[in-house]
Structure formats: structure tokens, C-alpha cells
Structure 1
Amino acid sequence: MSKLFAKKQLSVLLAEAGESEKGLKRTLGAGSLIALGIGAIIGAGLFVRTAAAAGQHAGPAVTISFIIAAIGCALAGLCYAEFASMIPIAGSAYTYSYATLGEFIAWIIGWDLVLEYALGAATVAIGWSQYLNKLLTNVFHVTIPYQWCHSPFETSDAGVQGIMNVPSLFILLALTLLLIRGTQGSAIVNNIIVITKVAIVMLFIFLGWKFINPANHTPFTIPG
């Protein structure tokens, strides 16, 4: 039982993460790391889930959810910053838990991270697929058959059952190939995407500001 909760000493972790031929090379600077964080925050959910939550459930009170989420993110960021200053190596929550709670907890955290990233990538890929479908339909007047842009668990109003979401599979494969080429190349592409997304958000705010109607904020929450 004691081996399950065996902790790895900080000196050992630092030695394993030291610069060597087998170790990971530091290729990302502060700007790239900030862009990675922004890229993770501004995703498909910002443009899709926000409208659904405000229009169908929370109404204008969705801003309260944003404030609560922002406070939670700030506290999580402070926790990670403190851990990173104590254990300044790669590995994220897996390494932190290995050094503080033991091997068994680190094993659980590691698989949690795998599940988290897999689910996050899948949901964002599905969101991207819907954007592509709208773009092809509205701009190029090309429609992807329902069964090839939805999963087998979805059925249309006409009774057509999905087979495979090909666009989401394509973007996942494309990003996988990009990551295989290396972290630095991936960071450059991410920086371009982040700049584009931030510009879109700022443009949306700038153009939409004059259309704000305070009358729509009453009632602030949707009545039951």
C-alpha cells in the first residue's frame, strides 16, 4: 500500500527534466504560452454555447455565470502558478500530484487529463464541423449529407441517422499531424489562430455595441 502512495522527490524530478539528449527542449516563450492559454479559453463554446445558454436558459443573467467562472479560473490559475514556482518542470497536474500526493493519485490524475483533453478535442471538433457546414451551405451552396456530418447517436427530423462526422474527424487528423511536426510549429499556427479569434471577438463587440437594448435585460433572469 505504501508503494501506491510513494512520492517522487523534487530533486529526482528536476534531474529527470534536466537538459539532455533525451529530455524535452524548451521551445516556447512567454508570448506563446499566453497565446496557448487564450486559445484554450476562446473556443467553439464561446460562439455557440453562450448564445444557447442565454437564449434558452439563463437570459441576460448568463453574465453572472461568466463572473463566477472567471473567479474560479483566477483561483485555479493562482494554484497552478504556485505549483509551477515550486516544481518548475513540465507535467502539469500529474507531476504536481506525483510530488505531493503520491504515485496512485498521480496515475488517476494522468488518466483524468487524458479523458479531459480527449473530450475537449471531440467537442471542439464537433463545433468546428457545424461551422464548416454552415459556411459551405450559406457561401458555397454545398451541403454535406446529414449522415456524414453527424454521429451514429444522432437522427434528423426526417429520420436520417448519422454514420460519421467526417469534418470533425478531418480537423482532428489535421491537428494531430501538426502536433507531430513539433511544438514550435504548432505554437506558430496557434498564435495565428488566436490573433484571428481575438480580432473577431473585438470586431463583434465594436460593431454590436450600438445594438444593445437595455429593455432586453428585463427581466434579468428567465422566469420559471
Structure 2
Amino acid sequence: MSTDTVVDDNLSIQSENNAGKRVVYCTKVFFKQLIERKPMDKLQAEIDTRNELRRDLSWIQLLAIGLGATIVLFSGIGIFILSGQAAAKYSGPSVIISFVVAGVIALLSSLSYSELGAMMPSSGSVYTYTYAALGEYLAWFIGWNSALLYLFGVLTVSVAWSKQVILFFNIVSNFNATTVLLGTPLYWDEYTENFYFTGQAINLLAIGIIIAITILLIIQIQQMAIFNLVLVVFKIIILLIFIFACCSYVNLNNYHPFFPSNKGSFSEYGVTGMLQACTYIFFAYVGFDSVSTVAQEARSPQSSLPIATIGSTIVSLLLYIGICTVMVGLVRYDLLNSDSPLSQAM
């Protein structure tokens, strides 16, 4: 009986040791897969042999894609809303410097993107770069973060667009378009920091514009690139008209004090307030990375990708500086805390 007990104990101990070894082995394999990297030569071979996309996009079309994502998509929130709020809450007239600092930081990032895009012209963009440098797990994490960034960016801009369309029709035709089928059912109150129900049922305008753009993207990249180029040129012309038409109405007294006195906290005016505004308005520069997502559809990607990536950042920087300079010169900075600071300035 005692012999059987000893045998059973030995078998139990051996089984536990085997289970422990299996756990250790599986853990090693798991972490090895997490940090496993894909060599650049293998990535390049996949790009060269498995590319089923047509290389139709010229550098000017790539530049328009970068500008479209920056000044059309994310700038709809950044320069048209956050710029005035940043000036009123944090920096005062020095919001101009905030846009310069944030733009330089974005430019450094775009330099990295352009170099990586020229080395690995893959539609995987940041996912591919991270896979080659840091491993599969971080590539998966970064890839999903990038996807979520664009997802929430599109949702935010489509809702803001529908709101402006309704406002436009109210002004032009005196028609109250805020029916249950055209309004957003849920809104965020920044003062109480709570969501509240608006009484609306569904935002058909936001849904409609997303469906329309999706259909255009499905048709063919060449047609969509031309359509995007037209929109980008049109918006840049409007922004330039605003800048030059309002220059003669700028009041130089509105620039003083350029750095309002700090009110005792890090974020309220002064140099530190200007730095706080940098973090607030950096969202306006997001979008230049969209150029790398169409790298496998670009002609001569080694030259066209850097031109488009860096060029979209520089053009956006210059436009933002011009708009902010005029905006804070038209009215005092403390009057710009609204959802439409440019309208307030005019």
C-alpha cells in the first residue's frame, strides 16, 4: 500500500513538473511571437511581389490627400474650434507661437514618416513600420490606435459638419431644420462634463455624408483623389481669402499683451499657458500620416511620399499661422471662447 502511495506521489510530482514546463514553454513562445519582428528585406519582397494595387497617384494627388486629412478633416476641429478656445483659455495672442511649436513637432514626426515611407512603401503604414522595428504585438497595438484615431476623427467631423449645415440652412432660409431626423441624439456638455440627450433620434446628415464618401472611396482611388484635390484647392482658396480680406481690419492693440500675465496655474496664460495650448491644438496637425496609407498606390513612392508628407505639414503650418495671426488681431482673445471663433472674429 505504501509503495502504491509513493508511486502515485511521484506520478503527481512528475505531472506537475510537466505542466509547469508546458506553461513555461507556452509563455516563452507567446512572448517570442509578441516581439517577433519582420525583417525589412522580407517586407520589401512582399511589397514588390504581392502588390495588387495600381500605382496611379502622383505627388500632387498625394499632397492633396495629406492636406485633405489635415486641413479638411482634423483641421475642422483644430483651427476652426480649438484655436479660439486655446487663445481664450490658455495662451492669449501667443496661440500663434503655440501653432508654430506644435507645427515644428509635427514636422519632425512627418520627417520620420517620410523616411520610413520611402524605405517601406506599404499601405500598412505605421503598422508595417512598427512590425519591422518593435515586433508584432506593438504593431497590432499601434495599428488599432491609428484606426481608432481616424474612426473617432471621422465621427467627430461628420457630426460637426451636419451641425454647420443645419445652421447654414437656418440662416439662409429661416427654416428650422433641427428635426428629430437631422440632429445628434447625444451631446457632450463641456461645462458640466456630462453627456445629455437632445431629444433628437438620428443624425441623417452625418450618416449620409459618411456613406457618400465611402461610395466614392470604393469606386476607384484615382477618381477619389481628383475629387479630393478639388475640395482641398477650394478650401485653401477660402482660407486665403479670409486671411487677406481681414488683414486691413486687424487691430494691433489686440496683440498686447502677447503673453498675458499668468494667473497662478500652469495652464492659465503666460509662457506655460502657451505650452499648454500646444497640447490643446496639436490635433489640428494630425493627418499628414494619411499619405503613407496609400503608399502602394503612389507613383515613384521614394520621391513622392516625402514630398507629400513634409509638404502637407508645411502648408498646414503656414495656413494656421496666417489664420491665427488674423483671428487674434480682429478681436480680443478673451472673446474667442466659442465653437466658431472665426465667425466671432468676423
Q: What's the TM-score, normalizing by structure 2?
A: 0.59
Cα drift, residue 127 of structure 1: 2.1
Output the CA distance in 2 between the equivalents of 1:143 and 1:33. 40
Q: Does residue 78 of structure 2 align to residue 51 of structure 1?
A: no
Q: Deviations over 1:170-201 (max 9, x none)?
A: 11111111111121111111101000000001
| Alignment check: 8 A CA contact 2:34 2:135 kept | yes
Q: 1:186 aligns with which of 198, 217, 224?
A: 224
Output the CA distance in 2 between the equivalents of 1:189 and 1:143. 31
Output the CA distance in 1 between the equivalents of 2:252 and 2:100. 20
Q: Does residue 59 of structure 2 align to residue 30 of structure 1?
A: yes
Q: Percent identity?
A: 34
Q: Which has the higher helix share?
A: 2
Q: Deviations over 1:96-115 (max 9, x none)?
A: 01111111111111111110
- Pairing of 1:4-153 with structure 2 (within 5 A): 4-18=34-48, 23-43=52-72, 44-45=76-77, 46-145=79-178, 147=180, 148-153=182-187
Q: Which has the higher contact order (CA 8 A, sep 6+)?
A: 2
| Alignment check: 8 A CA contact 2:92 2:260 kept | yes
The 1:95–1:209 alpha-carbon spacing in structure 2 relative to 1, beyond 3 Å, is: same
AA partner of residue 16 (structure 1): E
Residue aligning to 1:168:
206
5+ long unaligned stretches in structure 2: 1-30, 190-196, 264-346
Q: What's the TM-score, normalizing by structure 1?
A: 0.89
| Alignment check: 8 A CA contact 1:146 1:160 kept | no
* RMSD (Å), alpha carbons: 2.1
Q: Deviations over 1:43-91 (max 9, x none)?
A: 3122233233334553312112201111111100111122123223322
AA partner of residue 123 (structure 1): T
AA partner of residue 195 (structure 1): V
5+ long unaligned stretches in structure 1: none
Bigger shift: residues 50-59 or 184-193: 50-59
AA partner of residue 38 (structure 1): L
Bigger shift: residues 5-14 or 207-216: 5-14
| Alignment check: 8 A CA contact 1:153 1:161 kept | no
